[in-house]
Structure 1
């Protein structure tokens, strides 16, 4: 009787674990649940040619319809604004440089890949990556392996870890260079853009 009870208990535990396992649909639902997200980031880039990693910090704003504001403040000021068909880049107080998708399609291929990763656009990534989803403690972990060029000529893999939001994004290149971006203090309020934020998207 003890063996039989133990067997059924084990089966129930397995079924319970399977029922609770996160799915790609769950991840996409979590990451697209809010139309606006603000937060801070720390990016650490480890490069084969340097002994010390390059660390940069700043803040970001992701709007599901408008695009992405990415403002690095340390070690120097750089502002990036990515919308559907244009990219604006500004160093310190210099005039911003605007690049259109039609003028540099390869740049937009990679910038919109990053935006898709950040927005949790799982459906949009399926054709480009083999996906392996697992659980890491209370978090989910999504490992992306590129299927074909140009991605498989640059990246070995990309991993995304998070819960309700993305906490860590790691891009591992074939060269051995690794970029790790950690996100913090993420919040979904206020739910509307300020006048300054609206102006940033209008270029």
Structure 2
């Protein structure tokens, strides 16, 4: 469980501390859902979300951030495929059964299964972050939210002890789509992920893409 959480935090999250005023606006799940529905009317109908990401990892002992970039694919009910293309080529498939890491982002060989106790819980939290599943997030986080002119920010502070041991708070922001994910780790390191994604129908998936989510 701890190894899985640490790996996810290092691979995907963490960012600069956000303005404190966001966390002065607690929201109930119903209030948060109402804000998101107004900004993203098609949120519940999105089947496939694909796009590019840019990520910066800030470590206290290193003056410059560690940067990476690549592509991602989120498929509702199947999982998330996260393919870093630079500076190194690697990919991770996250499903409800756990995590599978590929030695190459484009090849099926070299799979390393990271399924272990607790990984299903981590997977459900990660899905909820990208899919903006408020009901799932509210089970593990206190919710905070602001909105102005169609641009919203959702703040999360973990109530679950296993999550709180690894990060202090997360922020998701955007307008018609999620545009940025930020996380501040408990130790003070942080990660920033910028997203540029478009919603597509399930029929847009190729056979190779479907295969990424198979056991």
TM-score by length of 2: 0.76
Equivalent residues in 2 for 1:130-169, closer than 5 Å? 130-169=142-181
* Equivalent of 1:95 in 83, 87, 110: 110
Matched residues in 1 for 2:211 and 2:118: separation? 26
* Equivalent of 2:85 in 53, 73, 80: 73
Are the aligned partners of 1:87 and 1:98 in contact in 2 as well (CA < 8 Å)? yes
State the 1:30 CA deviation. Answer: 4.8
1:25 has 2:25 as partner: no
Are the aligned partners of 1:146 and 1:157 in contact in 2 as well (CA < 8 Å)? yes
Matched residues in 2 for 1:137 and 1:85: separation? 39
1:188 has 2:195 as partner: no
SS in 2 for 1:48: coil
Are the aligned partners of 2:97 and 2:119 in contact in 1 as well (CA < 8 Å)? no
SS in 2 for 1:158: strand
Aligned length: 178
Instruction: Give the structure 1 partner of residue 190 of structure 2.
Output: 178
Matched residues in 2 for 1:127 and 1:191: separation? 28
State the 1:33 CA deviation. Answer: 2.8
Deviations 1:39-98 (A, max 9, x none): 100111101121110111010110111111111101101111111113210123661112
SS in 2 for 1:198: helix
The structure that has the greater radius of gyration is 1
Instruction: Give the structure 2 partner of residue 61 of structure 1.
Output: 73
Change (3 A) 1:191 1:73: same
Which structure 1 residue ranges, 5 or more long, are not aligned? 1-21
Between the two structures, name the one with larger relative contact order (CA 8 Å, sep ≥ 6).
2
Are the aligned partners of 2:83 and 2:90 in contact in 1 as well (CA < 8 Å)? yes
TM-score by length of 1: 0.80
Which structure 2 residue ranges, 5 or more long, are not aligned? 1-29
Change (3 A) 1:34 1:164: same
